[in-house]
Amino acid sequence: MRELRPWLRLLWTRWPRLIIGGLLMFATVLAGVGLLALSGWFITATALTGLLIAAGVKAYLDIYTPGGGIRFFALARTVSRYVERLYNHDTVLRLLADVRVTVFAGLSGARREQLNRRRPSDWLNRLTADIDALDTLYLRLIAPPAIAVIGLVLGALIMLAVAPALLWSLLPLALLPAVLYLLARRTLAPSRDLGEQTEALRAGFVDTIEGSAELQAAHLWEAEVGKVLQSSRALDRTRLLVENQTALADGLTVLAVQLSVVIAMLVGLSLWDAGHLSGPVALLFTLAVLGLGEAFTGLPAAFSRLGTTLGAALRLNQDTQTSAADNESACPATGPLRLSGAAPVRNGETLTRPLSLTVPMNHRLAIVGRSGSGKSTLLDILAGLHHDWTGEIMLGDGALSPNQAGPLGREVSYLTQHSYLFSDTVAANLRIASPDATDEELLAVLDAVALAPLVKSLPAGLNTRVGDQGRGLSGGERRRLALARALMRPSRILLLDEPFTGVDTATIQRIKTSIEPWLEGRTCIFAGHALSALPDSDLQIELNPSETG
C-alpha cells in the first residue's frame, strides 16, 4: 500500500470536501435504512391493528406520525443522494485535476532519458487508464468501506441499547471485511496484471497499425496480428479470472446480508414471543439490517480492482519521480562559456574526444562533423537533456553540474534535430516561444525564415492548422517553422542543431542573411555537417567519429 501514500496525501489536501462528501453519503445510507425500517414497522402495525379491529378488539393507530416520517425519509433519501452525487462528482473532478497536474508536473521535470524509456502508447496509458484508476480512489476504496463500518457500529450500539440479542444478526455482516480482504488478496496479482496487459495490448496494437505498410511489405502482417490477438486473449483470461472472483465475493456478500436478515427476523420473533419487543419493532430491526446490508453490496467490485489501482500508482510514481538535484537552480546565462575536457559518456566510455574551448559572450561557435561524431549529444549536454558527461563546463564564474535539469538556465533556446510541431495553428506553434507576440512579430520572424509568403497565401493565414506533427507542411517548411520558434524565444543562448535540414541551397543563403538580426546579442552554438549549412560563426571546431574514445 506504500504506492498509494503520495496520492493519499494529495487527496487529503482537500479533506474538508472529503469529510462533507462522506457525511452526505452516510446521510443517504441512513435515510435509506430509516425509510425501509419505518415502512416495515408501519405496514406491520397497520396490519396488526386491522386484525385486532376485525376481531372485535378496540385498537388505535396513529398513522400520521409514521406516515410523516416515511415521507421525510423518502424525501431525505432523494435529496441527499442527489446532493451527494452532485457534490462528490465535483470533488472527484477536482481531485482528478490535482492528480493530472501532479503527473504533468512530474513529467515536465523528468529527464529526457527517463521519458525516452517509454513509448508514446505507454504515456497515453499513463495519462488515461492509470489516472482513471486513481480517479475513483475516494469514491470506491475510501468512503464506502468507512461508511459501511460506521453504519455497522452505529447499528450495533442501537441494538445493544434496545435488545442486545439482536447483535447476533450483525455477525455475518461483521465477517464481510474478512471476505473483502481475501478477495483483495486473491485478485491483487491478476488485477495488477490487468493494467500491465492492457498497456501491452495497446502498445502492440498501435505499433502494428503504425507499421502496417512495412509489415505487409515484408509479409509479416499476419504474424504481428496474431501476437496482438494472443495479447487480447490473455487479457480476456485475466479479466475473466478477476470477474469470477468478484462474482464469488458478490454472492458471499448477498448471502451474508440475507443471513443477517434471517437471523434478525428469528431473533426478533423470539423476543416478540417473549414479550420483550412488539411485532412491528421486531420487523423494524429486520428491515433495518437489510438496509444496512446495502452499504456492503458495492464493495467487492471496488476491492477486486485494488491491484489495478496499486499498479497504476506504482507506475505513475516511477515515471514522474524527479530527483531533488533536477530542481536545483541553474546557473545564470551570463559570461563566457568554457569547456575543459568535457565529453559525453555512455556506459562508462566517452563518446567524443574531450573538448577544451572558450566561447566568449555573444559570440558564435560552429560544430561540424559527420553523423555519429557527437555534435547533437554535446548540444544536449548544454541544454540539460544529456546528464552523463565528464570534464568541466563553466558559464561565467559558475560551474555546471550533470544533475541540473537545465545547466544553462531558462534563457536557452534549443532547436533539436527532431523538433515537434503541435497539431495546432501556425500562430499557436510560434507563441509557445513567445506567448505575447503580436501577429506582426510572428510574420516578421516567418519572413526571416522565408515562410511569410507561404503563410500569407494560406486561407486562414496564421490561423491555419499545421496538422499532427506538422504533416500539413513539407519537411523543409516544418524545419523552418521550428527554426522561427527557436529564434522567437527571448533567450541569451541559442543552440541550433542542423537548422536548415530539408531546405534548398538558395533558400539557405537567404535565411542566413535574414536571421542575422535575430542572432545579435546572443551566444550561439550551431551544429551541422558543413559550415555552408550553418549561419555565419566566429569560431569553428570539427568532430569526427574517429576521435571518439
DSSP assignment of 375-392: HHHHHHHHHT----EEEE
Q: Would you say 122 and 203 are in contact if contact means Cβ atoms under 8 Å apart?
A: yes
The predicted structure's pLDDT at residue 60: 83
Residue 476 has pLDDT above 50, yes or no: yes
The string of pLDDT tens digits covering residues 168-188 is 999 999 999 999 889 988 888
The mean pLDDT of 485-500, rounded to a whole number, is 90
The predicted structure's pLDDT at residue 139: 86
Alpha carbon separation from 25 to 82, 240, 433 (Å, rounded): 10, 31, 48
What is the radius of gyration, based on Cα positions, of the chain? 35
d(CA 549, CA 373): 11
Query: Lowest mean pLDDT: which of 261-270, 330-339, 417-426?
Result: 330-339
In the chain, CATH 1.20.1560.10 covers 2-321
Q: Which residue has the higher pLDDT, 122 or 478?
A: 478
Q: Would you say 504 and 343 are in contact if contact means Cβ atoms under 8 Å apart?
A: no
What is the residue type of 165?
A
The predicted structure's pLDDT at residue 409: 56
Residue 491 has pLDDT above 90, yes or no: no
The predicted structure's pLDDT at residue 111: 65
Q: Would you say 41 and 66 are in contact if contact means Cβ atoms under 8 Å apart?
A: yes
Residue 112 has pLDDT above 50, yes or no: yes
C-beta neighbour count of 397 within 10 angstroms: 10
Which among 321, 348, 325, 331 is positioned nearest to 403, based on CA atoms?
A: 325
- The whole model's pTM is what? 0.71
Q: Determine the 3-state secondary structure of 541 from DSSP.
A: strand
**CB proximity list for 289: less than 8 A, separation 6 or greater:** 155, 169, 170, 173, 257, 260, 261, 264
Query: Lowest mean pLDDT: which of 313-327, 388-402, 499-513?
Result: 313-327
The predicted structure's pLDDT at residue 233: 94
The predicted structure's pLDDT at residue 21: 93
The predicted structure's pLDDT at residue 324: 37
Average pLDDT, the chain: 85
The string of pLDDT tens digits covering residues 337-372 is 888 888 777 766 776 778 888 888 889 999 898 887
Q: pLDDT grade, residue 328 (50/70/90)?
A: very low
Q: Determine the 3-state secondary structure of 463 from DSSP.
A: helix
Residue 232 has pLDDT above 90, yes or no: yes
Enter the C-alpha cell of residue 348: 562508462
The predicted structure's pLDDT at residue 321: 65
The string of pLDDT tens digits covering residues 185-219 is 888 889 888 888 888 888 888 888 888 888 888 88
C-beta neighbour count of 135 within 10 angstroms: 18
Q: Which CATH number fits domain 337-547: 3.40.50.300, 1.10.540.10, 3.30.379.10, 3.30.70.360?
A: 3.40.50.300
The predicted structure's pLDDT at residue 379: 85
Q: Would you say 399 and 369 are in contact if contact means Cβ atoms under 8 Å apart?
A: no
d(CA 120, CA 62): 69
Q: Would you say 483 and 415 are in contact if contact means Cβ atoms under 8 Å apart?
A: yes
The predicted structure's pLDDT at residue 352: 73
Q: Which residue has the higher pLDDT, 373 or 309?
A: 309
Angular region, 372: left φ>0, alpha ψ -120 to 50, beta rest: left
Residue in this structure with the C-alpha cell 485478485, named with its chain if needed: 187
What number does CATH give the domain 2-321? 1.20.1560.10
| First-residue to last-residue Cα distance in the chain | 47
Angular region, 502: left φ>0, alpha ψ -120 to 50, beta rest: left
Helices 279-293 and 143-162: crossing angle in degrees, nearest 10, is 160
Residue in this structure with the C-alpha cell 475516494, named with its chain if needed: 138
Residue 121 has pLDDT above 80, yes or no: no
Alpha carbon separation from 300 to 178, 182, 448 (Å, rounded): 11, 10, 64
d(CA 324, CA 322): 7
Q: pLDDT grade, residue 548 (50/70/90)?
A: very low
In the chain, CATH 3.40.50.300 covers 337-547
Q: pLDDT grade, residue 546 (50/70/90)?
A: very low
